[in-house]
Amino acid sequence: MTHAGSSQTAPASPANDAGADAHFPDAALIALDWGTSSLRAYLFDAAGQVLATRSSPAGIMNLPRSAEQGGFDAAFDDVCGAWLKHAPHLPAIAAGMVGSAQGWLEAPYVDAPANADALVAGIVRVKAACGATLHIVPGVLQRGELPNVMRGEETQIFGALTESANATNASSNDARALIGLPGTHAKWAVVQAGRIERFHTFMTGEVFAALREHTILGRTMVTPDRPDAEAFLHGVNIAREKGQAGVLATIFSARSLGLTGQLPGQKQPDYLSGLLIGHELAGLDAVLAQQQDSLAGQSLRLIGNEALCERYRLALAQFGCTRTELVRQATERGLWRVASQAGLVNPAAQTAHAG
């Protein structure tokens, strides 16, 4: 597939083409990243090349009308109708919250450890009003006293694994690797031999927003013109070196350092961000230590918003983890891979481009 090779040199996805001619004779697959607050659609050719993309704010909690009134069909038609008009039998696949209990059709979680075959086996099918069949990829559940769940990230992770399998050699897939997905609910997955072995969730992004917008910490904060790396790293290193009392204690310093004149309001947002990400990484490191592993010296991959991944890259370096690689187009790659493995696209065309 054309996504193989260095992600740095991969072309950017084509712009949203809502106004353009939607007739793509080479179209082979519609793939959707359908989350809580947005819907992104990719049109692939049979070689795994993205021909076009479309996006909409119609996440499952933001449908144009209620689910009972056909909200899912309406959102699907709005985004993919023009593509399907010319090719009504195009296979379609979706990952994300669209498969949750609040989604179009629930795709029950598959248990970790999970490989791509397990995801394929867990796919559920929903017949859209327009006649198309949407294949919904399940999320992954890690059972236990502190269970963990993901929906959407599993597909991105397999997208990242696809890249390394193509870029280097097949045996690299057997090594244990760590993949981080920063965000509202950051995920950290341990992958090995093409499987998601286990994973952790940190509510870092959502907690940051709640602290900033709904606690006293936000009152003295001033949004800086640009990210303040120094304040951010200050927070990271406080969490790493002086964080024994835990995040409930250290976050108060965003206020007390302001009261003592040691941290002006413009530095407080990045300092708090550093504290939280620092505590996340310290917590991750503690969990890794239980498995005779650590962040120090680790080579890992990050998936997500570039600016946020850059924050994590800076923070990880403080933990001795300097080899971090940003994986681009992990979502598209993952959707393509699961669709291929499910037989939704022609394996011959895929094979011709692999390796």
DSSP letters along 287-314, please?
A: HHHTTT--STT-EEEEES-HHHHHHHHH
Cα distance between residue 161 and residue 172, in whole Å: 10
Our finding on whether 244 is near a copy of itself (CB under 8 A) is yes
Cα distance between residue 95 and residue 99, in whole Å: 7
Site residues for a copy of itself, 20-59, by CB under 8 A, read none
Our finding on whether 89 is near a copy of itself (CB under 8 A) is no
Our finding on whether 249 is near a copy of itself (CB under 8 A) is yes
How far does CA 178 lie from the centroid of its chain? 14
Q: Label residue 294 exposed, middle or buried (CB < 10 Å: 0-12, 13-18, 19+).
A: middle
Q: At its nearest, how many Å lie between a copy of itself and the CB of residue 351?
A: 38
Our finding on whether 248 is near a copy of itself (CB under 8 A) is yes
Our finding on whether 353 is near a copy of itself (CB under 8 A) is no
Taking CB under 8 A as the binding criterion, the range among 18-26, 90-98, 212-220, 342-350 that sits at the site for a copy of itself is 212-220
Complete edge-to-edge strand list for the sheet that includes strand 177-181: 114-115, 195-202, 186-192, 177-181, 299-303, 323-327
Our finding on whether 200 is near a copy of itself (CB under 8 A) is yes
DSSP state, residue 292:
T
Our finding on whether 259 is near a copy of itself (CB under 8 A) is yes
Q: From the list 30, 284, 295, 309, which residue makes contact with a copy of itself (rule: CB under 8 A)?
A: 284
Residue owning tokens 């602290």: 211
Q: Which amino acid is at 189?
A: A
- Residues 6 or more apart whose CB falls under 8 angstroms from that of 11 comprise none
Q: From the list 246, 297, 320, 343, which residue makes contact with a copy of itself (rule: CB under 8 A)?
A: 246
Which is closer to a copy of itself, CB of 61 or CB of 229?
A: 61
Write phi, then psi, for 115 (nearest 5 degrees).
-105, -175
Our finding on whether 257 is near a copy of itself (CB under 8 A) is yes
Structure token pair of residue 104: 């179009």
Cα distance between residue 63 and residue 70, in whole Å: 9
Our finding on whether 291 is near a copy of itself (CB under 8 A) is no
Taking CB under 8 A as the binding criterion, the range among 113-121, 214-222, 304-312, 323-331 that sits at the site for a copy of itself is 214-222
Q: At its nearest, how many Å lie between a copy of itself and the CB of residue 75?
A: 21
Residue owning tokens 């407080």: 268
Cα distance between residue 250 and residue 242, in whole Å: 8
Our finding on whether 204 is near a copy of itself (CB under 8 A) is yes
Our finding on whether 282 is near a copy of itself (CB under 8 A) is yes
Structure token pair of residue 274: 């550093």
Our finding on whether 213 is near a copy of itself (CB under 8 A) is yes
Our finding on whether 169 is near a copy of itself (CB under 8 A) is no
Residue 186 has a CB neighbour count (10 Å cut-off) of: 24
Residues that bind a copy of itself (CB under 8 A): 141, 143, 145-149, 185, 200-204, 206-207, 209-211, 213-217, 238, 242, 244-253, 256-257, 259-260, 262, 276, 279-280, 282-284, 286-287, 290
